[in-house]
Chains A and B, each alone.
Chain A
Amino acid sequence: LAEDPTNDTADVARHHRLVFGRRPFGGQDGARRAPGIGSSLELHGFRDYVLGDDLRHVDWRGYARNDQLRVRLHEAQVAPHVDVLLDGSASMAVTGPKVRTVQDLVRAFVSWAADADCRSRVLLLGGDELAAADVADAVFVGGAAPAPPRVALRPLGLRVLITDALWADDPQPVLQRLAAGCSQFVAVQVLDAFEQAPTEMAAVRLVDCETGRRRELRLDRAACDAYRERLERLCAAFADAVRALGGTSVRLTAGAFATICAEDLTNAGIVEPA
């Protein structure tokens, strides 16, 4: 199922960029405003000179006016860390289009972070860091219960959660742990077309890709409608939980990555045309 991102995917990614929020970020020197005093050109304020201050920051013009030695304070600007949190459950690779979309998203977020001079990591939920290029169907072998990565998350950064959020349990606790300390939290929910809208089938044996449980049933119109209603409730609970944490969520259907960028991610304010 896994394939390298095509040149088309890379081209699509180059035409978009990440949208950073207004909340201050932390990190190395960069272009994003950060809480505290820094060395940017933006003037933050003045304070009295104390021994040891860099004489280059003394406000000599003010000293000439009132003989008071004061030091000019500038705002801090940083390049925020971007942590891509990837749901490693087996359900992420239940179909080929789904796992390909996940691959495209991971690599696009890493690419967008690099374009913004941000340092990025790809962290597997319940696992360790892995390279973006290593995201393949073999990675998605985890169980249904999500857990934070074993690697400590960087504070004041941008965290992107890529998941299908098909969790039977309440997502609030794990989302709180994933979003704790970050400046911006984005949740991208990827679902397969059949997961979004199952087709009617006279007799079907459904096999849970994570637990192996089987169930044979007839998917008629009523059953499909009932399924969609349940899915909507599940997705709404997930979106509400993300929103409650100040984050942004988007639900998209696995498919063409250009459409995902131009419509789903852009409409959600996660990326914008470059």
Chain B
Amino acid sequence: MTERLATVERVRAVQRDWIAKTRESVAAGGPFAICNGDEAEEIFLTMGIPVLAINYWNFLILTKGDAPHFSEVLNARGYPGRHFYGLGLASSIAPEKAPWGGLPQPTIIVGSTRSEMELRVTELWARETGAHFFPMEFSFPSEYFEPLPDDWWNWTRDRWPELVHPARLDYRVDQERELIAFVEKATGRRFDMDELAANLVRVDEQIDHWIAAREIIAKCPVCPVTIRDQLSMYQVMWHRGTPLGVDLLKGYRHELEARASAGIAGYANERIRIHFAGETPPWGAWAEEQFGVVTVSNFYSGVPDLYPRTIYDNDPLRALAGRHLFLFAMDVNFMVQQARDHCCDAVVCIEPFLDDYPPEASRERQRVEAAGMRYLALPHNRDGEDIRARLTGFFSDFS
């Protein structure tokens, strides 16, 4: 494997710097917000309020291997079991082992009914920290009424109003206005609609860099970046629509262009390109060494493409609310499209009960094979002898 991208190192430095600066500003009396990803970040960014996406923070804890510790923290509070969503709450209850020395004191936590458990956790988190709590109805995982068009990802930028229920959209716009008023009152900051519009325009620019980078990955004879670095770059999505966010993705694109020109490969031993329908396959290094299998794209590869929203009727808040109501679907068609876009030879999915039914029953298999790629289903997302045996069986006779 080649060395990590310089841009990734820059992103990591930016993130460390961000938390340090946020802590300083909170210590000086400044506000700090916490919310679910894709729920309200732009509202806070527009108001100059640092905001943390809960899923990002939880993944940081997970990546550090501290999920068991923070699950125990929750267990001690009477919340048994293994946790993921509650890890952030746990890191506020017992901040000693939290990433980056722990979070600053939040001013506000925004919860939502995207799942009932998440609503509960965010409410308890706000209570734990003494933060204001602001719950929101409906979000992008909310069940939608009408079937999506088969190529829904081609609609998200310009035809987004057709992907959301108009009554829910009105409702959501009202809630966002309420949230703005609430935050203005709680923090004394002013919200500027023009600045939100500028933010959304910058999102378009930012994502265009991401798309260009993806096209480099897809078209380059050897993949110029590892999936690990691609995922690291996803952190930039937490600086969505900021000048810094635009600059980081621009740098990413340029670095990939340079790598592609120089013939620098992300992986040392690329022979088979796969799309992995998860994040990073835990058996990835082994499969590369054994069979030259490299992960070129994953679930998140095409997600940033879905953020831009055309502003209609000079109403950026409505466009933002539209995105908050529909970002992406967990959809086989999108997965197949991603694999195609990245010129993959095969797709690897997790099918937990795959031994309980004949392979042809899998709609993923049907669609992937119909698209001319090979398909492998694995029963779980862990490495192990059982998984390696399946990988060996699949990739050994790969032609």
* A and B bind: no
Residues on A facing B (Cβ under 8 Å): none
